[in-house]
Structure 1
Amino acid sequence: MHPLQAFNAEVESNIAALRRDEALRRASLGWVGDITPKKYAYNFRWLGRPIIQLPQDMVALQELVWKIRPDLIIETGIAHGGSLVLHASMLTLLDCCDALESGQAFDPRNTRRRVLGVDIDIRAHNRAAIEAHPMAHRIDMIQGSSIDPDVVAQVHAAAAGHETVMVILDSNHTHAHVLAELRAYAPLVSPRSYCIVFDTVIEDMPAGSYPDRPWDVGDNPKTAVREFLHHDADFEVDEDIEAKLLITVAPGGYLRRKG
């Protein structure tokens, strides 16, 4: 067996073993529960912008972008814009690699691959910082509720003509809101691409962990995902991603479209 094949087989075996290790999964979930009140996810930046994600989920995002090679990434929830910058930088790297593989010069003016962010409240200082960022030329933003029909129509119009689309949901984390987002945007996801629903971990935290928020156990992204999957057979949970990460805010939230 070629050494790379042997290494890949070992990794697959590792992940399969991790999927069966319930004790380690519980320990990992406990660690996430311990660091969440400390706002641990606030500690990180991507190319200078606060990203508010766990590093493990950032790694998973870049792996998926490389694997899927989308030409449009849609994300609900902008905050400081770090995730938008992450996506834009990854799409730029894809274009650079495409140019190298084809023997052509990289053209920074080619921004066919784009990022679209949606947020009900894009604060002025965050918008200014995102628009001043070197990755801004790949980023579009829409202000408004992600489930408002007019906003949904704008997103669908922006997605028209894009061949490979990935969707990330990370805004209001109530069951009703996330379920409405899934119904609105999951149809845009390309076959074998992903709809990633963040903060499904809320369901696995002790009740009352978010006293200043409208979501809690029984009313959160994971409950919305469960209801969505019950009625939509086009998507399935990629359990290998959760198994290999162990530390994630999206257990059961990495949804792959079949095809």
Structure 2
Amino acid sequence: MIMNKSDDSKLAAIASSFLTASIEPKYSYNYSWLGRPIIQYPQDMVAMQELIWKVQPDLIIETGIAHGGSLIFSASILELNAICGGCQDAEVLGLDIDIRAHNREAIEAHPMFKRISMIQGSSIAPEVIEQVKAKAAGKQKILVCLDSNHTHDHVLAELEAYAPLTSVGSYCVVFDTVIEDLPDDMFGDRPWGVGNNPKTAVWEYLKAHPEFEIDKSIQHKLLITVAPDGYLKRVY
């Protein structure tokens, strides 16, 4: 039986302290997946593996590409799903406003690129949204991950555009909701901070979208996660 680790107040406090202390030294930059920097905490990587196996999506939509580690990660788990009898042609679609040439070259040279496609442009631009909807047409199980610009308005616009593509029983995962829980002076010249971030966008979106619920069992299990209140399950 999986225990709710948040019930252990001592462990939860230690996990919270570690997470806060690890942000400034860029702890998440320590990790790569199959050779590409992924810029994620290991706990969230494991959680995503569990969701991809559970949902068995035939399409994963990801906003924010950076070095491509997350695309490679998702594609590799879809490859394992296929080996184990899952969807044979499942794929990942990545969106980014600026796909750097060296990152694109490395992603396209990777063996997992066979399951990856990319669109360069703002994730909230109408023409990009239409391309994504066209890609999603006919797909049976879709999982969405939002991890680009972290301002409230941008993430809310992404939610309005892409959360509806999430299939029932699947998830729309909003990363970096933890910004709301961190000291406001940690973000320097970033355009986001306390009161203006992915978590505030999630809270706003859920007011009008009861088809989604926060799956708190995930954050309670992980304790260390950049996505508290960000694992959104579509329930109908």
Q: Is the 8 A contact 1:199 1:250 kept in 2?
A: yes
State the percentage of identical aligned residues.
61
In structure 1, what is the equivalent of residue 92 of structure 2?
115
Residue from 128, 136, 139 that aligns with 1:159: 136
> Residues of 2 paired with 1:169 and 1:117: CA distance?
10
Structure 1 SS opposite 2:140: coil
Q: Is the 8 A contact 2:6 2:223 kept in 1?
A: no
Root-mean-square deviation (CA), in Å? 1.2
Which amino acid letter does the alignment assign opposite residue 51 of structure 2? L
Residue from 174, 179, 183 that aligns with 1:197: 174
Which amino acid letter does the alignment assign opposite residue 59 of structure 1? V
> Residues of 1 paired with 2:199 and 2:189: CA distance?
19
In structure 2, what is the equivalent of residue 80 of structure 1?
67
In structure 2, what is the equivalent of residue 184 of structure 1?
161
Matched, 1:238 2:215: yes
In structure 2, what is the equivalent of residue 104 of structure 1?
none
> Residues of 2 paired with 1:86 and 1:60: CA distance?
12
Which amino acid letter does the alignment assign opposite residue 62 of structure 1? Q
In structure 1, what is the equivalent of residue 23 of structure 2?
36
Q: How does 1:1-259 map to 2 (within 5 A)?
A: 10-11=1-2, 14-15=3-4, 18-98=5-85, 112-259=89-236
Q: Is the 8 A contact 1:111 1:137 kept in 2?
A: no
> Residues of 2 paired with 1:85 and 1:140: CA distance?
11
How many residue pairs match? The answer is 236
> Residues of 1 paired with 2:206 and 2:12: CA distance?
23
Shift in Å at residue 208 of structure 1? 1.7
When the two structures are superposed, what TM-score results if normalisation uses the length of structure 1? 0.89
Structure 2 SS opposite 1:191: coil
Shift in Å at residue 166 of structure 1? 0.1
When the two structures are superposed, what TM-score results if normalisation uses the length of structure 2? 0.97
Q: Is the 8 A contact 2:124 2:158 kept in 1?
A: yes
> Residues of 2 paired with 1:156 and 1:56: CA distance?
30
Q: Is the 8 A contact 1:111 1:138 kept in 2?
A: no
Shift in Å at residue 84 of structure 1? 0.2
Structure 1 SS opposite 2:84: helix
Shift in Å at residue 27 of structure 1? 2.9
Larger radius of gyration: 1
Change (3 A) 1:123 1:111: farther
Unaligned runs of 5+ in 1: 1-9, 100-109
Shift in Å at residue 22 of structure 1? 4.5
> Residues of 2 paired with 1:196 and 1:69: CA distance?
15
Shift in Å at residue 23 of structure 1? 4.8
> Residues of 2 paired with 1:180 and 1:20: CA distance?
34
> Residues of 2 paired with 1:194 and 1:75: CA distance?
12
Describe the superposition over 1:199-223 as per-residue Cα deviations: whole angstroms up to 9, x where unpaired: 0000000012111211000000000
> Residues of 2 paired with 1:62 and 1:69: CA distance?
10
Structure 2 SS opposite 1:130: helix
Structure 2 SS opposite 1:116: strand
Unaligned runs of 5+ in 2: none
